[in-house]
């Protein structure tokens, strides 16, 4: 007998989608201006912060990411 993954229904899914998050932000803050959805700087700062707190070296993290990505 094979084991199948159960598909989550919308009621079971408690994680917001990217679109739900954008809609919520638009409702709270209004429509974003030009470049308002650019997350490049924030993303880079978050990655840098996480790497500083990580017990592994950047090289170890990069090697692991390459292994998991298959590239």
pLDDT digit string, tens, across residues 10-61: 555 567 787 887 788 778 877 767 776 677 888 888 888 988 999 999 899 9
In a domain? residue 71: yes
Domains held by the chain: number:
1
Per residue, what are the HEC states of the chain? Answer: CCCCCCCCCCCCCCCCCHHHHHHHHHHHHCCCCCCCCCCHHHHHHHHHHHHHHCCCCHHHHHHHHHHHHCC
In a domain? residue 26: no
> What domain range is 60 assigned to?
39-71
In a domain? residue 9: no
Confidence (pLDDT) at 41: 85
């Amino acid at each position: 007998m094979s084991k199948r993954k159960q598909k989550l229904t919308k009621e079971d899914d408690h994680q917001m989608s990217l679109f739900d998050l954008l809609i919520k932000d638009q409702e709270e803050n209004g429509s974003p201006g030009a470049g308002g959805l650019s997350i490049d700087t924030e993303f880079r700062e978050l990655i840098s912060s996480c790497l500083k707190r990580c017990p592994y070296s950047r090289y170890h993290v990069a090697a692991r990411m390459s292994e998991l990505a298959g590239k």
